[in-house]
Every structure is written in C-alpha cells, then in structure tokens.
Structure 1
Amino acid sequence: MSTATPTPEPSPEDISRALAEIERHLTELAPPTPPAPLAEPNDAGETRRVRQLRAEVAEARQLAALQTDDTPLLLDTPRLRKRRKKAHEAARLHLLGQDPAMRAWQAARMRRLLVAAAMVALTLALAWSTAGVQHFAAEGAPAWSPGWIFAWLVEPFMSIALLVIVGARAYLGTQGQPLNDRKLIRIEYLFLGLTLGMNAWPYLPWSAVEFSLSRLVLHVLGPIVAVAIVTALPIILAAFARLDPTGGAADGGLTGLTYSANTGDRVRRTAAEVAPLIERAQILIAAGALPANPSANKLRQALHCGMDDARAVRDALTEEAA
C-alpha cells in the first residue's frame, strides 16, 4: 500500500508573485483610460465673456450678409397678392367696357331701363291727376250717382290715348326712327293741357272759395310731371339713337381718340396714296354698308386701315361730295 506525498504550503513570496501576475493580467485586459482634457489656457484671455462676444460677432456677420439679399422682398404678401388680383380684374373689366359689343349692350340696357322708368312715372302722374279730373267732371254730383261714377272715366280714357302716342314714339325712338310728327305732338299737348286745366281750375283764385297755393300745386303736380316726361323722353331716345358704340359719332361728327396703326412717318396722306381705299369706301357706301358721310373711325373699321389713312379717305370723300 503506497502513501501520498504531502503538498508543500506556498510561501509568502509565491502569494505575492501570484497576485502581481493577476494584477498585470487584469491591467492588460482593461480598456485604455482616455487622456484628461487639457486645461483652458488662461494667458490668451479665453474667458466665457470673450467666447460669448466672439459668438455674437460671428452671428452679426452672418446676419449682415443675409440682410443684403433682397429675395424675401420680392415675394408677394397675401395683402399684395389680393390687391394685385383686384387690379388685374379692374383692368380686364375696363378693357371689356371698351369693346363695341359691350358698349352696345350697356346702352341698350340703359335705354330700356330709362324708358320703363319714364313710362311708370308717366302712368303714376296721370293716375295722380285722376282725382282732380274727377272732381272737376263730377261738378258736385252726389257720391255713387251716374254722373259721379262716369266722372272717374274722364281721366283714364285721356291717359290711355296719351300713353298710346307716347308709347309709339318711345318704341320708334329706341329703333332709331324718332316719330316727330307735329300732329301727334299737338295731340299730346292737347291731352296734357286738358288734364292740367281740369286739375287746376277748381283751385284757382277766381274759382276756389278759399284759395290755397299748396292745394293748387299739389293738384297740378301730376300733369306737370306728365308734360315733363313727354317732352324729355323723345330727346333722350334721339340721343341714344345717335350713339355709336364703337366710340365715334353716328352722324359723322367728331371721331373718338384712337391709336394709328400706320407704319413709317406720321404724315398726312394724299388722295393718290389712298386711292384703293377710297374706291373700296365708295363701293361700301353704294352697298349701304357705310353712311353717305362716314366718320374716320367707321372708315378705319370697315377698311381695316390706320387712322391716318381713314382720315385721308374721309377728306377725299368730303371733297368729292362738295
């Protein structure tokens, strides 16, 4: 039977050696320690106030460079964009208003409105005088008696006859054919004079028991308005009939301002230079497409030429007619 050999105990030197080996091994396995930051140099004056001022100076330089750029000023603000849109719309509306078709439509609409308003006012004025005429025609007849009832019919049948004449003159005036027959005008003033006389007679100083100027004016107001409308309406319609939507005068008078389309020097053209245009204008006049004495504006539109040529053609036609 064999006996085991006892293990010798480690000496203090062996223990110290083993601990040193373990410490060296752990030191090799540990990550390297980063170097400590260098202390800020104090001799260069790099204090916190210096760094803050340096940052402010750098920021100011960048702002100064950006402020010289005008690109943000070129952008439209919402208010400017809205104003620009309104200005563009106003310019287009103005351009549309210069179009001959638009001008003709506006004139026709205004003429219809004026004629309708005048006829309504005339009807109301005649209806206003109905009570005065009835008082004159009844001559104190009892209420609801035959004479009192028939007195109410005097003003209506005169008014209807007057409205027939005025309406006919108004319609023909809107068609460019004013009806200025003296007989019709006399008939108009006869009806209006009768209406005015019957309204005013009971309230005149020699007829009224107690004269009152206010009552007299109140009863003659209707006939006076009717006379004014009958007198003014043909004049207004005649002016509309002479209106030229292209901007010139329908009767060959003054020509509206236009821009010349001729090229070269702006000199007065002679009849020889515009002889073809004169011949074309004479053909159009003979065909009825142009009036006998057309204005320069009408010639410019019909011949498709410049205003200088149109004026030369107009002068040549005027000399031939003379």
Structure 2
Amino acid sequence: MARVVRIHEYGKPEVLRIEEVPVGRPGPGEVRLRQTVIGLNFVEVYFRRGTFPVPGFPWPIGNEAAGIVDEIGANVTEVKVGDRVAYADGPHGAYATERLYPADRLVPIPDNVSDEQAASVVLKGLTARYLLKEVVPLSPGDTVLFQAAAGGVGTIFVRWARALGIRVIGTVSTEEKAAFAREAGCVAVIDRSRESLGDRVHALTEGRGVKAAFDSIGRDTVRASLASLGPRGTLVVFGKASGEPEPIVPFELAPRSLFVTWPILPVYTASRSQLLTAASDLFAAVGNGHVDARPNRVYAFDDVVQAQRDLESGRTMGAAVLRI
C-alpha cells in the first residue's frame, strides 16, 4: 500500500485527501518507485481547482518527484533496480509514497545532484529551458520580460539567462519578492501592483521594448506583457494563474509584427532522446552553478494541504517540495 494524495471533487486545498492505495506490480515497460521528494508546482493547483478538468474522481495529484527504482517490469532497459531517478509531466499521481511509472519517461539523477534538488528542478527547470533555449531565439545582450520572476520557473529562468548573457526584466507582486528576483539576477524589477508595466518597460529599454515576454499569470497580465514588446517581439504565454486571458485579435499584432505562442513541455520532450538531452543540459547547468536547484521551502508529506495553500496564495518563492 502507498499513501497517495487524491481529490474526490474540485475545490480549496482542503479537498486534498491522503489515502492508502494499492500500488501493484509493475507491468511491461513500467517500474515501481519508492519516492523520496515530491516537487510542488502551480499546475497542480489548476487540477485541484478544476481549471484543468480531470477525467474522473478520485484523481491523484502531482506531476514531479524523485525516488529510487524498487522493481522493474518486463522489457525495461532504461533503468535498473536501485537507480535514483526523477520525472516530470507524465502520468499524474506524484503526490505519493510509492507509485508505478513508465520507465522511458524517467531521467537518471547524477551523483552530484540530491533528490531534493532533482524534485525541485526537473519540471520547472525543463520548462525554463525550453522557454529560454527553444521557444524564441535569444542571444547574449537581448532583453526579455518575465512575469512572476520570483516563482519557481522564474528564478531558474532568470539565473540561467544571466549566465547566458540575456538581460531579464522581472515582475513581482511584493517587495520581498522583488529582493528575491534581484538576487536571482534580474537587471530591473517591476512591482506590478504599483507600477504601469508597459510604461516602465519602455523606459527601461529606451523605448525599444523587449524581444520576448514570458507570462504564466494570464488574465491579469497578458495585455501588459503584449504592450511591453518591441517590433517583431514574441508573447510567450505558458500559464493562467489568474485566469483565462482575454482573446487577442490577430490584427492587433500587425503594427509591430508581433508573435504569440503558448508552448507546453510535452511537445519539447516528446521522445526519450529529447527528454534525456534536455535533462542532461539542465543537470549540467545545476552542476556548474548556472541553476540553483535548492528548494526554498520544504514541507512534510502530511502538510500537503498547507503547502498548496501557500503555493496558491503566492507565499512561496523559488522551488518548494514535499519530503517523504
């Protein structure tokens, strides 16, 4: 039996239930994992609230974790018993002490990376990587905007961008988060609760605007992100924490020849070779110090309700994990 966090209805964090559920033996292509650390990500709030609907109840929550392979099924060649591995954005159910998982979606954890670091960085780090390196062609000296720069993806993106010579203007909602974003490496920080973002960005860029604006907040910020772009700039929307963004009419893009995209991680890690290449690049960035993978908040597994309260209310900065 495993202890698994599931929901039986949509709602506030209190709908999360820790229940004992049979794990079973791994089938062909599967492994049974004994999990050690679980990553916390805002996408799990979307599923709990019903922003992203689930196929049915009860539904297991969670997208990212690290652990140890305890048993392998038939035809598994990617990993072996005893391997330390991590995963992100595959079958749901990461909030669990043990689980089954497809072997070909696991990535090996290098010896110089701890389980806590891996569970803190795989989903958020792979996301930051495709935003930084694949969605928009960025070069040293380019200036971009990143909404929620003190968040889990934001701090990884900012630190990595700084190492690559890319200038990031970050937005935050509190002065505490502003200090955190500056420490991560933002060249300027805008408090979006008090400042006009579009005006401030154009002042900081001497009227040129930014090459790209990365926005996971959605409804409350997308218009301001669009206004911050320079000619031929790209709006990259990859979340909707504040709700569904209002539609953008294509003709609005014409005066500056703008681009709009909503990329998702599974498209960028669709094959095992893509996944391993991205994970290897990410762990190398952790190893050389370009990415700080240490969690900023560590919760006990039994404190999952409080952890999601903090995540949803914006009280967390950087990465947060559940430790088993």
* TM-score category of the 2 structures, normalised to the smaller one: under 0.3
Larger radius of gyration: 1
Q: TM-score of the superposition, structure 1-length normalised?
A: 0.20
Q: Which structure has greater helix proportion?
A: 1
Which has the larger share of strand? 2
**Larger relative contact order, structure 1 or 2 (CA cutoff 8 Å, min sep 6):** 2
